[in-house]
Amino acid sequence: MLKIADTVFDSRLFTGTGKYACANTMLAAIEASRSQLVTMAMKRLDFHSGSDDILRPLQGSNIKLLPNTSGARNAQEAVFVAELAREVLGTHWIKLEIHPDPKYLMPDPIETLKAAETLCNKGYVVLPYVHADPVLCRRLEEVGCAAVMPLGSPIGSNQGLATETFLKIIIDQAKVPVVVDAGIGTPSQAMQAMELGADAVLVNTAIASSADPILMARCFAEAVDTGRSAYLAGLGKVSAVAQHTSPQQAPLTAFLD
Amino acid sequence: MNQINIKVNGEPFTVSKDESLETLLLSYQVNLNSVALVRGGQVVPKTLWAITPCEADDEIELFGVVAGG
């Protein structure tokens, strides 16, 4: 069972609400994913353009909402966005993300650590989105983060676990749950993250931008379950040379000599 | 002079003097449970909206939730 702060999750697949063609598809995909934690963003209201109310149907479910600080360019702005989110959603959970660079959306480690410390001190449950940096993840744990969310590859890029070597180190060291976030593009990549021992994965683009998001959400749910089971079962050792699977005895055809 | 000028999300707006933040929000037809209100750079908690009057030249920002990852 996965536990983050005081909350237990049956599902190890977290999902986002972005990039869906419409709110109904999003809700159906989230249901198919069996996700119990979904992310959303904060925005200054625009009275000139209507938008689907994604909040009301989600608030009526037993899904936990995880607002993010996307759009914040530094620690101060991220803390401000967390306060807005708490005001709107009544939650002190926050996905801390600070990525000022619009092209690669690389998280700023210095501002993230600064904001994490401030938010933890204010009583927030902080889940920081970071590069797969084992040292930074330890520092974030030390300031009180409830989990760490290292990236597999750039947000929305579907490039998979480009950071695998470092994810392994993070998973090995972490005393808080490790959620692999960003870049997971296929169910097999989500499964791979779970096989490595990640506690959960967060997937948005790969589901939302698929031709059939509901079916894809189900595929991810199954892949995450399988990957977790494989991790618990214990993967076999990797060897550079072949290892016999059949009994080794005197050569079977020795009598022909 | 019973009217005062304020700005809401950067746009000019006229309200009655002593109108509360809550009444202002109701005129925007937003769901009060899904909005955060910032005045002069500070978040004003929901519990204070009904008892906080708008003041001349207030700059008010309203935030809500949108889809995101």
pLDDT in tens, A69-84: 999 999 999 999 999 9
Region of poorest pLDDT, from A43-52, A101-110, A217-226, B24-33: A43-52
Chain B residues touching A80 at Cβ < 8 A: 43
Say if B68 falls within a structural domain: no
Q: Count of domains in chain B?
A: 1
| Element (DSSP H or E) covering residue A226 | helix A213-233
Residue B1 pLDDT greater than 70, yes or no: no
Predicted model pTM: 0.90
The one catalytic residue in A3, A19, A64, A95 is A95
A158 labelled binding-site residue: no
Residue B51 pLDDT greater than 80, yes or no: yes
> Average pLDDT, whole number, for chain A?
93
Q: What is the CATH number of domain A2-235?
A: 3.20.20.70
Q: Does any CB of chain B come closer than 8 Å to the CB of residue A77?
A: no
Residue A47 pLDDT greater than 90, yes or no: no
**Nearest residue on chain A to B45, alpha-carbon basis:** A87
Pairing status of strand A13-16 against strand A7-9: unpaired
Structural domain span for residue B9? 3-63
Say if B59 falls within a structural domain: yes
Q: How far is CA A101 from the centre of its chain?
A: 20
How far is B26 from chain A, CA to nearest CA, in Å?
13
List, in order, residues 6 or more apart from A188 with CB less than 8 Å away: A223
* A45:B30 CB<8 A: yes
What pLDDT is recorded for position A46? 81
A183 labelled binding-site residue: yes
Residue A50 pLDDT greater than 70, yes or no: no
Band (pLDDT 50/70/90 cuts) for residue A51 is low
What pLDDT is recorded for position A246? 83
How many CB atoms neighbour CB A66 within 10 A?
Answer: 24
Strand partners, A13: A201
Per residue in A125-140, is it b (16+ CB within 10 Å) or e — as a string?
bbbbbbbbbbebbebb
CATH number at residue B45: 3.10.20.30
Q: Where are the domains of chain A?
A: 2-235
Q: Give start and end residues of each alpha helix (H) in A15-130.
A: 23-33, 55-59, 75-89, 109-121
